[in-house]
Amino acid sequence: MTQGQIVIACNVIQESIDFYSEIGFRLEQIYPSDDPAVAIISGHGLVIRLDRTFSILHQTIHIVCEQPEVLFNRQTNFVAPEGTTIKIIPEKTGYTIPDTLHKFEVKQLKENDSWVIGRAGMLYRDLIPDRLGGSIIASHIHIPNGGPVPDMVHYHTIGFQLIFCYQGWVKLVYEDQGQPFILKAGDCVTQPPEIRHRVLEASDNLQVIEIGIPSDHITTIDHDMELPNNTYNPDRLYQGQTFCHHQSETATWLNWKLKGMTYRDSGIWEATNQVADVKVVKAISSEENKTPLQHQFNIQFAFIMHGEIDLKHKDSNHKLKIGDAFVVPPYEDYYIEKFTENSEILIVSIQ
């Protein structure tokens, strides 16, 4: 589909969305979710691209199409007599997962950490600042004040996405998965590619960990679907993945790799057709360990939910506490040398 877009440079995306919504426009797409830089809105026969990355001296119009090279004899840039710039650009569809730029990285929670206002007014904190070359995004999301969430039915064009409820609770509804439900602290869900869903309500001090691959992906608003919908099909495949709702209160705990630690498996390895594995590791005693740990996945991310651990990787030592996170490259030894009895770690591994 070929579509013309008027490009408007703006400093704060959400302020512009709010303004245009009041005069009859509606949001169609927004990205990235954690710190929106582009929003596509439509109304009154117009399509507008609000773009924080643009600094425009003259008005710009984008003509978006599947094959820009076949229009206008391959010419993709024009300037009108009055100075308006017209650009022929490819339609942004699907996603590309960049090669992972592996590195060991620790992100510690500090009092002066900046929280960015993201999609639907939620606060976002980046847990992997360089995103390993764009292959993954890990966000700590916070809603301080509970109540209804100003969200819309939407979907993400993405390879994998996890929502893990860390503190508080959130009410969610998903396409073909029945009535809305409460995701409690310790519970998690996958959001398979392009499943329609909506955040309905949150408790005070809601905190969730959101993992997505790749880091750069599009969120699209579905104005036609109402949720919950009439179809109940929990086994439905979304690009090879099924919806998974893991509940901590019914989980089975097994011995983990280190003495004094147990783990619960989420079932996400099976639900995602071996795209991702999600485990929660919990200490049942306070121990010292010299046993090396290692993984064979493409990416492994860990987030400290409770307690404290002493982490060692090569010549670096780190004391990690609640809210801290780290990533370790494959086939590299690391050590959890000490951990307090109440320690609990979310471990997400991406194939």
Which pLDDT band holds residue 314 (cuts at 50, 70, 90)? Answer: very high
> What confidence score (pLDDT) does residue 138 get?
98
Annotation: CATH topology of 3-90: 2,3-Dihydroxybiphenyl 1,2-Dioxygenase; domain 1 (3.10.180)
| Percent of all residues in the chain with a pLDDT value above 90, rounded to a whole number | 75
53-67, 118-132, 215-229, 241-255: the lowest-pLDDT one: 53-67
50-54, 92-96, 311-315: the lowest-pLDDT one: 92-96
Q: Both tokens of residue 304? A: 């400290």
* Residue 180 burial class via C-beta count within 10 angstroms: exposed 0-12, middle 13-18, buried 19 and up: middle
**Is CATH 3.30.1330.30 what the domain over 124-239 is classified as, yes or no?**
no
299 bridge partner residues: 350
Which pLDDT band holds residue 56 (cuts at 50, 70, 90)? Answer: low
The per-residue pLDDT of the chain, averaged, comes to: 93
The ranges assigned to domains in the chain are 3-90, 124-239, 249-350
Question: Higher model confidence: residue 236 or residue 120?
Answer: 236
Q: Which CATH superfamily is domain 249-350 in?
A: Jelly Rolls (2.60.120.10)
Same fold, 3-90 and 249-350: no
Q: How far apart are the C-alpha atoms of 343 and 114, rounded to whole Å? A: 26
pTM more than 0.85 = yes
